[in-house]
Structures are given as C-alpha cells and as structure tokens.
Amino acid sequence: MKYLRLLRLFLSTSIQAEMEYRLNFVIAALSSIGGLAGSLFGLSLFYRGNDVLGGWVWDEALVVLGFFTLLQGVSASFLSANLSKIVGYVQMGTLDFVLLKPVDSQFWLSTRAFSLWGIPDLLLGTFIIGLAGTRLGLGPLDYLSALFPLLCGLVTLYSLWFMLGATSIWFVKVYNVTEVLRKTLEAGRFPITAFPAAWRIFFTYVVPVAFMTSVPAETLLGRGSAPWLLGAIVLAATLSVIARSFWHFALRFYTSASS
C-alpha cells in the first residue's frame, strides 16, 4: 500500500519535473525514429538476396528488432533514468537521505524517476511487433505467452544494471561501465542465431542478451522451448537475488561523501 502510493507519487513528480523541459521529448522522438530507421536498413542489408537468416525470416527478425526497441524504451524510461543516478547520489552524498528513510533503498533508487524519453521507443517497439505479428498471422494468445519471458528478460537486465550501479559505492565514477553494458545490449537487435557460435555463447552466458530479445521473440513465434524458458526464469530469479544481496553488501562499504 505504502509502496503503491510512493510509486504513484514518484511517477507524477517525475513527469511534472520532465515537463519543464518539453523540447527534450521532441528530440527523443526524433532520435528513436532515426535509430529505428538505421536498424531497419542494417537488417535489410542482411536479407538482401536471402530469405532466411539463421533460421529467421524477415518478419520474424522484425519481431526481435521490435523487442529490442521496446527494451530500449524501458531502459530509457525506467532503468537509465534511475540507475544512472546512483552514481550521482554517491558522489553528492545525497544517498544519505535515501538510506535514512524507513523505505527500502533498492526500491527508492530503482523507481524514483521516470523519464518520458523512452516513450517513443516503447510505442515504436510495440508497433513493429504488432505489424510483423499481423503479417505472420499471430493471435492474442501468442502475444500473451511472450509477456512472461519478456518480463524475465527485463528483470535480468535490471539486475545487471543495478549491480553495476551499486559498484559506484567503491568506484564512484562508473558512468563508463553502464555505457559498456548498453553497447553490448545493442547485439540484442538481431536474432541470437544470426551470430557465429562463439558470440552466441558470449551473448547467452556472459552477457545474457539472448534472454532479453531472442527468447521472448521465439516464444511469441510459437517456437519457444522449455529449456530456454526455464533458463530465462532461473536467470532472472538468480540475478535479482544476487543483485539484492550485492547491494546490501556494498552498503557496508559506503563511506558517504564528506561534507
């Protein structure tokens, strides 16, 4: 109850604060349209002269791109908006205020801000998935079945990002680290099987990009397999537990910015 009320307040205050800078939103919309056009062009190059790429036809690959765009929207609106700020909280010492409130600090740091910047990506991603899905003749149940692996992918991404943010307790300046993660995630715009075997292993086991876009897309296309789905669940559950204990571990080393 308390946390629901807080979520509502966080959302409304963030939107209010963002409204002060309206031009940003226009720029964000333009940049996501541009980004998507670039991705579409890149993807179309691979399909020139090929009908099938790594077992994916054009429309199926579009679904993956759709999930990727959606994920980028979530990153911009929820993850980046909050987790990139952890560094600032540590640097400025305002983390003190968060830690002194009778509220879960991980919850506060992860939900406090919401950015309108991700909305264009969220809309475009949904649109592409819908478009490709219609051409492939998918039904409502297919979409519903993809929600769960998508959620698992989001939890995985969030946990990785949060842990990287938590390392700022020691290193203070870790903007670069989250940038590396973002760049690696770019790989998620293409179906995982489109990559050579070595990269496939890397993107599945080292940075689990495969679980964020390819697995939800496969489930949506009705090709989901139990081991992959199970893997997605186990990964999401494990990483979120690790992220939580890692945060509490990191706090023991918090020295707070001196005044």
Partner 1 sequence: MIEVKGLSKHFNVPIKVSGLSATIKHFFNRQYRRVDAVKALDFSIKEGEFVGFLGANGAGKTTTLKMLTGLIHPSGGSVNINGHTPFDRKKEFLQDITLVMGQKQQLIWDLPAMDSLRINAAVYEISKGDFDERIEELASMLELKDKLTSPVRKLSLGERMKAEFMAALLHRPRLLFLDEPTLGLDINAQSAVRRFLKDYNTRHNATVILTSHYMADITTLCERVLIIHEGGLVHDGVLSELIENFAPFRQVKVELGSDVDKETLSKYGEVESLNGAEARLTVRRDELTEVVSKLLSEQNVLDLTVTDPPIEEIIGRVFQKGSVS
Closer of 91 and 225 to partner 1 (Cβ): 91
3-state secondary structure of 52: strand
Binding residue count for partner 1, defined by CB under 8 A: 25
Q: Are 85 and 113 in contact (CB under 8 A)?
A: yes
Q: What is the nearest approach in angstroms of partner 1 to the Cβ of residue 98?
A: 9
Closer of 21 and 205 to partner 1 (Cβ): 21
**25 burial level (CB within 10 Å; 0-12, 13-18, 19+):** middle
The label of the residue with tokens 């939890």 reads 155
CA dihedral sign, ordered 84, 181, 224, 237: negative
Binding flags for partner 1, 87-116, as an x/- string (CB under 8 A): -----xxx-xx-xxxxx-------------
Q: Around 4, how many Cα atoms within 13 Å sit in the side-chain half-sphere?
A: 1
Stretch that binds partner 1, among 6-14, 76-84, 136-144, 186-194 (CB under 8 A): 6-14
Q: Are 32 and 120 in contact (CB under 8 A)?
A: yes
Q: What is the nearest approach in angstroms of partner 1 to the Cβ of residue 82?
A: 14
| Percent helix / strand / coil, the chain, rounded to 5 | 80, 0, 20
Closer of 176 and 259 to partner 1 (Cβ): 259
Binding flags for partner 1, 7-46, as an x/- string (CB under 8 A): --xx--x--xx--x--------------------------
Binding site for partner 1 (CB under 8 A): 2, 5-6, 9-10, 13, 16-17, 20, 92-94, 96-97, 99-103, 252, 254-256, 258-259
